[in-house]
Structures are given as structure tokens and as C-alpha cells.
Structure 1
């Protein structure tokens, strides 16, 4: 027994029965108080469980540094720079408009690179277009609470990690998220302050024409995407779901409309 433990034992032995009873009652009261607090804040267990899952998944040598990095992802976004969530049917032209924003205003906007389990298309670079990864790995990280949103679309898993969004925000830029409808619903449920933009096609016929023009899909996949687009349009056009709806007829006109919308959303930010 150490000297400190010996001193503590002597101190306890010197207490009267009444003092010991009061001490035990105080300890029990504190235990109940702590238990009630944890019970009223279920997010505590979620946060700690997510951290432990991530810790055991990564097994870092520097646990303290890993913990600091893990919990920093829960910091709220900059008050003046909420991220932009852009959604719309496959083939509607989201990627084209996003690329124009990044090209013309590189100091203002940054793209959150999503993870996906699908294979890369011609010209897509890992870490630029997507983080191409294995399904098993993504599911482990989702379970560990490392993702803001995720969804399975056309048989493949897509997701946005919290780190991807934070990396953009730490550079003082407005983060752009290109996600599907399931992802939009998850971001809304997360409570994160964001702007939501829906990109719609001029018509279903035009959407199918654009999908065929990509020449990257089989006939079955084209029909599946067209079928899914009907549900996505129905959701996107519900009042109050999105902050703005942009019909992408002609790219140049749509980009001007998009720029005008962003100036209204971020009046204190110079687009550059």
C-alpha cells in the first residue's frame, strides 16, 4: 500500500459512524446525479461509442492526437459559411455546374470529396472525383460514426465523411456537397446548418437524352436512373425541402442563375 493510500485509510478510520454514513449518502447521491445526467444526454453514449469504434478500427499509436482529431470533426461550421448541399437526378448536370464554381471561384468554394464503392469512370482520379474504396471499409467507418451521410445508390455505397467537410471549412471556404436525396435527408436530420439546392432537368425526356449522351451506362442502368429520377423530382419539388430549385436548361444561363443565388445566400462573401 502506498503512502497516499495509507493516509486515506487512516482518514477514513478516524471518521465517526455518522460521518461515514453522510459520506456514503453523498457518494450515492453523486452516482444517481451522474447517471441521471448521462440518461438525459444519450448523445454522450453515441459520441463515446463512435470514438471507441474509430479507435479500435484505426489502432493509432498516439491515442491523444487521434482523439483530438476525431472530436474536432464535431465542431460546428463557420457561422458565415454554411456548406451548400446540391442534389438532383443523375445526369441533370450537377457536376458541370459544380466544376464551374470551383474553376471560376477557387478561393471561395471547395468540394467535399465523397467516398464510393463503385469503380472509377474514364478520367476520374482517386481522391479528386471520389475516394474509391472497398465496401467493407466504408461500412466499418460508417459504423464508427465517421460519416455525415451515406446511402446505397444503384448497388453502390456513397458517403460524405465529416472530415471531408471540415477539411474544406478549415481553409475558410464554402464546402460543396454533391449528394443524393437520401443523403440530403440525413444531413437535414443531423441538424447541421446548410443551404440546400436542387437541380432539376427541363423534362424527363431531356434527362434521358443526357444520360444516353454520357455513353457510360447500360440500357438497364439508364432505365433505372430514369425511374429513380421521378421520385427524386417529386421530393425535390416539395415546398420547403430545398432553399432553391434551379432548372438546368442551358449551362451558361443556369450558372448565372446559380451565381446570383449564391450572392443572396452569402452577401458578405466575395466570390473569387
Structure 2
């Protein structure tokens, strides 16, 4: 079995889900769906699971990796990894779990300029000013990964999409 893992990381609001959705029909890959203790919204699809059941699955060794963020628990199941290219949106804290489990792992950090991130988070109207500033500070933390690439997602979607596809093809 030839497994290639591409981890997608980056702050909330940098456009990870939009970018991944835009390429789904243009590249042969397994876009791995996360398990989350939050009901999916229009921007993402995930497997919703209640907290007690999630904790049971963690104890049962169901996940390659699980992490907590913003009051929710996230996880990637072992069964979701397929032969070939697997693209997975995760937290930066989970990178090591994948690097310890798989041989061929690349991490792409999606980013945008701070002012653009601030404006996107503000326009979502989900968080107060203090929470937005904390998210922006967190986005400045250095990513720890063996094979790390930074991708600037500040261009119009069509332009970012073609550059991102080129990057993915060069990694595989």
C-alpha cells in the first residue's frame, strides 16, 4: 500500500475549506473527513459525534489523532486513510501523530496577511475583538513539521486554486 499524507494547517479564516472544496474535482485524492463534536455548517462537512461517544472512540484507539480546539474535539479515524494521496485538514498540534504513523507526510500551512485575516474573522461576526486578536497571535506561531511548505492564499480563488494544485502535484 502506497500512502501519501498531505496535512493542511492554518488559522481559522485563511480559506482552507474553500480552497480544498475548489480542487476536489481537479485532483485524484482522498479528502479525509474529520470527526467533530460540532454539527457541520455550510462551510465544512464532518462526521458529527457526541462528546461521550467521541471519548469512547479515543479510548478504543479508533483515531490516528484527536485534539481539542475552541471547545470541540476533532479526530481523524484510522479507517479513513486510503491507498494513494490523502488530504487532511488538521490542527498543527496533530502533525506529529501523522509523522509518527506514516512515512510520507507533507504539511502545507495555508496563510494570508494578518490584516486580511482580521477582516475575514471580523466579518464572520462569531467572536469578539479579544478572541479575534488571540486567533491572529496563534496564527503567527511557527509550525513544527519535517516537510513544511507555506502557501499564501491571499490571491483570488481561481489563481490560488491553480497555484495550490501545482504545489500538490509537485509534492506527489
Aligned with 1:142 (options 29, 38, 58) = 58
Indicate if the aligned counterparts of 1:102 and 1:110 stay in contact, CA closer than 8 A.
no
Superimposed CA distance per residue, residues 210-253 of structure 1 (whole angstroms, 9 cap, x where no aligned partner): 122334x121543442232222xx226xxx64432111111322
- State the partner residue of 2:159: 253
- State the partner residue of 1:195: 106
The runs of 5 or more residues in structure 2 that have no matched partner are none
- State the partner residue of 1:235: 143
- State the partner residue of 1:91: 13
Aligned with 1:175 (options 66, 86, 93) = 86
- Higher RCO (C-alpha 8 Å, min separation 6): 2
Indicate if the aligned counterparts of 2:38 and 2:48 stay in contact, CA closer than 8 A.
yes
Indicate if the aligned counterparts of 2:105 and 2:147 stay in contact, CA closer than 8 A.
no
How far did residue 192 of structure 1 move?
4.1
Superimposed CA distance per residue, residues 51-109 of structure 1 (whole angstroms, 9 cap, x where no aligned partner): xxxxxxxxxxxxxxxxxxxxxxxxxxx32x5121111111111111111111333xx12
- TM-score, normalized by length of structure 1? 0.57
SS of 2:115 mapped into structure 1: helix
SS of 2:75 mapped into structure 1: strand
Larger Rg: 1
Q: CA RMSD in A?
A: 2.1
How far did residue 138 of structure 1 move?
1.0
- State the partner residue of 1:244: 149
The runs of 5 or more residues in structure 1 that have no matched partner are 1-77, 267-272
How many residues align? The count is 170
Bigger proportion of residues as strand: 2
Q: Could you say if the C-alpha distance between residues 222 and 265 of structure 1 is closer, same or farther in structure 2, counting changes exceeding 3 Å? A: same
| Matches of 1:119 and 1:136, distance apart in 2 | 15
SS of 1:82 mapped into structure 2: strand
- State the partner residue of 1:210: 120
Indicate if the aligned counterparts of 1:198 and 1:242 stay in contact, CA closer than 8 A.
no
- State the partner residue of 1:113: 33
Superimposed CA distance per residue, residues 151-202 of structure 1 (whole angstroms, 9 cap, x where no aligned partner): 1001210110111223xx3xxx52210001011122123244222211121x
How far did residue 145 of structure 1 move?
1.1
Indicate if the aligned counterparts of 2:106 and 2:146 stay in contact, CA closer than 8 A.
no
Bigger proportion of residues as helix: 1
- State the partner residue of 2:80: 164
| Matches of 1:244 and 1:227, distance apart in 2 | 20
SS of 2:143 mapped into structure 1: helix
- TM-score, normalized by length of structure 2? 0.86
Indicate if the aligned counterparts of 2:7 and 2:106 stay in contact, CA closer than 8 A.
yes
| Matches of 2:133 and 2:40, distance apart in 1 | 21
